[in-house]
Chain A
Amino acid sequence: MLDLHALIAALHLLGGSWQPWAVVIPGILIGLLIHSVPGLTTSMALAICLPLIPYMTFLQALIFMTAMYAGSVFGVAIPAILLNVPGSAAAVGTTFDGFPMARAGKHNEALGLALVASCFGQLVVYLLLLGLAGPIGAFALKLGPPEMLVLSLWGVTLIGTLSGHHLPRGLLAGAFGLLLGTVGVSARGVPRGTFGISLLLDGIPLVPAIVGLFAAAELFNLVGREYIVDNLEQRQVHASRILAGMREAFRHRTVMLRGALLGSCIGIIPGGHAIANLLSYSEARRAAKDPEKFGTGDPRGILAAETANASSEGGSMATLLALGIPTGGATAVMLVAFSMQNITGGPSFMRDHADLVYAVILSNLAQVAVLALVGFAFIFVAGFVVKVRLRMLVPTILTLAVIGSYALSHDIAGPITLAAFAIIGWIMHKLDYPVQAAVVGLLLGRGTEGNLLRAYQMSGGNFSFLLTRPIAIVMMILLVASITFPHLRSMRAAAQKGKLKWTVENS
């Protein structure tokens, strides 16, 4: 399990020189800064910094990139909470309760909660990694298309649980999102739903679409108001209130631990980090005695989403380090950094450079403490957003989103997608269609189709093949449980209410 020789060698590597540590704070700051701009992503930040890699030692480069990763994990929560703009799919769950808290003047507490959740999630996943890097990697290899399909379907069922009061509208929005996610060239090589526009052949640009759907609904709704938070006193950034939020987090240890463990497991699967926050949010809501409070500014919502987000990023690092398989855009860029240093990622890397792997894990554990301090200071900078008049803030954010989406797609497809989805998102919001259902569908559409197709090919058209996959069966049971339990609970509550009414009427 734990290679003590490699661990001691790692301690020597980290303790023998100050140089590996010199890149930690710059890395975290870059991660925080980049992700506080809607539209910019971790993979983009990592890609931009790639030219610096040849000037560093391999360990320094790894620590620098993981520090950026660590910073971005919390950075992505800042616009999600303050502006309802998730910088990436990984922060979608954070918006559900983060922005309602900010609008209620509790942005200090919300950011404090998110900071603790980010640090806790990373701490848990890297402690797990320290002991279980090898077995985690081996488990990831066992997950084939059927398991991935069930996981995708699990993600899609969130649509139903997240859809609030109008289930058909939520499911219709989810179906719309799922289909949108498959627009572009299919596995058969034919274009679908592109209207003949070549820019859509690669599909709908995800980040601009998500920023548009989320940013629009709230930014357009904020038009006509003076500030995000109307009350002058509530607009202040107070260290005491941030600390109160941080203390509040520790009152929900179960929620955090469940989110961190769920995120760690899901993060090792390709694309898992995009849905880890949503699954964790859904599970926290399902397990709560008062699920109706979720979505109205409940601290548990932020904690569940953020711990899973933070730990899933660590989980994807596990797959990268142990197997050399990138599970997302950011880890793919890190694999490029490997090759720039003439090092091949994969199981052989774990075998030949176990000391480096442990050094990265140990440095990440130290980075948690640095992130707590740097992140706390950064909240003061970020918290001033609520003090800016909306007639300046709204055009500023929309401009950054437009230019960020152009920078991402390098053509007009990004900005047009953003504007189109901005209007769709606003209409959906106004008519009480859950925007998040469409976003979940959009995120999972392409992956669900791919996994369904591969599972179909593996089974030879006979889906009873799924019954021969124990991991898929366990996941199916969890899926069914996550759908039925909330309904059973509400039915039981309704039955008890009816019984109580009957008793009162007959007494």
Chain B
Amino acid sequence: MSNPPSIHKIADRTFAVDTPNILFATALAGWVAWYCWDAWHANAAVENMILILPVSLAGVALYCFVVAGCIKRVSQAEEPCLPSNEPMGRGLAIKIIGSMAMLAALVLAGPLIGFDIATFAYMLGMMIFLGERRILVLLLFPLVFSAAVIYCFGTLLATPLPVLLFRGQN
């Protein structure tokens, strides 16, 4: 994600281009433009567009500034448009993307199979994924934590959660 800017040669000039930043800014601006279009199509009245239209126009203008700031001539740029963070190693990137995928799995599985089972599986999976190898900790911590969370939310806070095993609590 945080790769250094890629170098492109156009004619005799060399440019440093921060591609990830341009892609993200394009995604933001694309959503802004789509949202304005969607709101306009829903109702073009002043009451509906009074904030959305000017802010969307400002957003698209700002996008141009962001993109312009991400393309610099190497010879002129004292400080190319480098991301502020250190480049990420492959192993760390896999861990972060894996953590995101597991979070998405918890979100989708919780209401389907019950938060008791989903929480236990998520905690166990994440702890193994992040490097925990002690068997006792791997079994006890997710079990106790899942039970405590379901009990607290279900009984003490009287908040109904979808569960599979702890039905008495909800």
Q: Say yes or no: A402 contacts B107, CB within 8 Å.
A: yes
Q: A291 within 8 Å of B by Cβ?
A: no
Docked Cα-Cα span, A146 to B29, in Å, equals: 29
Q: Mark B73-105, 1 if CB is under 8 A from A, else 0.
A: 000000000011100000110011001100110
Closest chain A CB from B99 CB (angstroms): 5
Q: Say yes or no: B51 contacts A223, CB within 8 Å.
A: no
**Residues from chain B with Cβ under 8 Å of A445 in the complex:** 51
Docked Cα-Cα span, A46 to B137, in Å, equals: 36
Q: Say yes or no: B1 contacts A427, CB within 8 Å.
A: yes
Docked Cα-Cα span, A392 to B158, in Å, equals: 26
Q: Say yes or no: A430 contacts B83, CB within 8 Å.
A: yes
Q: Say yes or no: A430 contacts B1, CB within 8 Å.
A: yes
**Residues from chain A with Cβ under 8 Å of B21 in the complex:** 431
Q: Say yes or no: A168 contacts B69, CB within 8 Å.
A: yes
Closest chain B CB from A223 CB (angstroms): 5
Q: Say yes or no: B110 contacts A415, CB within 8 Å.
A: yes
Q: Which of A317-325, A334-342, A446-454 contacts B (4 or more CB under 8 A)?
A: A446-454
Q: B39 within 8 Å of A by Cβ?
A: yes
Q: A246 within 8 Å of B by Cβ?
A: no
Docked Cα-Cα span, A166 to B106, in Å, equals: 35
* Known pairs A179-B32, A456-B50; A392 contacts B132 (CB<8 A): yes
**Is chain A's binding surface mostly helix, strand, loop or mixed?**
helix
Contact of B130 among A223, A406, A416 (CB under 8 A): A223
Docked Cα-Cα span, A415 to B119, in Å, equals: 13
Q: Say yes or no: A399 contacts B38, CB within 8 Å.
A: no
Q: A186 within 8 Å of B by Cβ?
A: yes
Docked Cα-Cα span, A292 to B63, in Å, equals: 26
Q: B6 within 8 Å of A by Cβ?
A: no
Contact of B123 among A223, A395, A432 (CB under 8 A): A395
Closest chain B CB from A153 CB (angstroms): 11
What residue in chain A is nearest B126 (Cβ atoms)?
A395
Q: Which of A57-65, A189-197, A255-263 contacts B (4 or more CB under 8 A)?
A: A189-197
**Is chain B's binding surface mostly helix, strand, loop or mixed?**
helix
Q: Say yes or no: A182 contacts B24, CB within 8 Å.
A: no
Contact of B58 among A175, A402, A427 (CB under 8 A): A175
Docked Cα-Cα span, A192 to B39, in Å, equals: 5
Docked Cα-Cα span, A395 to B126, in Å, equals: 6
Q: Say yes or no: B56 contacts A179, CB within 8 Å.
A: yes
Contact of A399 among B63, B83, B119, B160 (CB under 8 A): B119
Closest chain A CB from B159 CB (angstroms): 4
Closest chain B CB from A314 CB (angstroms): 26
Q: A199 within 8 Å of B by Cβ?
A: no
Q: Say yes or no: B45 contacts A188, CB within 8 Å.
A: yes
Closest chain A CB from B109 CB (angstroms): 10
Interface centre among A182, A406, A433 (most CB of B within 10 A): A406
Q: Say yes or no: A432 contacts B39, CB within 8 Å.
A: no
Q: B4 within 8 Å of A by Cβ?
A: no
Docked Cα-Cα span, A342 to B114, in Å, equals: 40
Contact of A186 among B42, B123, B126 (CB under 8 A): B42
Q: Say yes or no: A187 contacts B47, CB within 8 Å.
A: yes
**Residues from chain A with Cβ under 8 Å of B153 in the complex:** 403, 407
Q: Say yes or no: B59 contacts A176, CB within 8 Å.
A: yes
Q: Say yes or no: B55 contacts A178, CB within 8 Å.
A: yes
Docked Cα-Cα span, A176 to B50, in Å, equals: 16
Q: Say yes or no: B35 contacts A453, CB within 8 Å.
A: no
Contact of B96 among A396, A426, A453 (CB under 8 A): A426
**Residues from chain A with Cβ under 8 Å of B164 in the complex:** none
Q: Say yes or no: A190 contacts B42, CB within 8 Å.
A: yes
Q: B131 within 8 Å of A by Cβ?
A: yes
* Known pairs A396-B123, A399-B122; A448 contacts B51 (CB<8 A): yes
**Residues from chain A with Cβ under 8 Å of B136 in the complex:** none
Q: A494 within 8 Å of B by Cβ?
A: no
Closest chain B CB from A340 CB (angstroms): 17
Q: A176-B28, A396-B123, A432-B83 given. 9 additional CB < 8 A pairs?
A: A178-B51, A179-B55, A183-B35, A190-B48, A192-B42, A220-B100, A392-B137, A426-B100, A453-B51
13 contacts between A and B (CB under 8 A): A172-B29, A175-B58, A178-B55, A179-B35, A179-B52, A183-B35, A188-B45, A220-B96, A399-B149, A415-B111, A422-B103, A431-B1, A431-B20
Q: Which residues of B contact A (CB under 8 A)?
A: 1-2, 20-21, 24-25, 28-29, 31-32, 35, 38-39, 42-43, 45-48, 50-52, 55-56, 58-59, 62-63, 65-66, 69, 83-85, 91-92, 95-96, 99-100, 103-104, 106-107, 110-111, 115, 119, 122-123, 126-127, 130-132, 137, 141, 145, 149, 153, 157-161
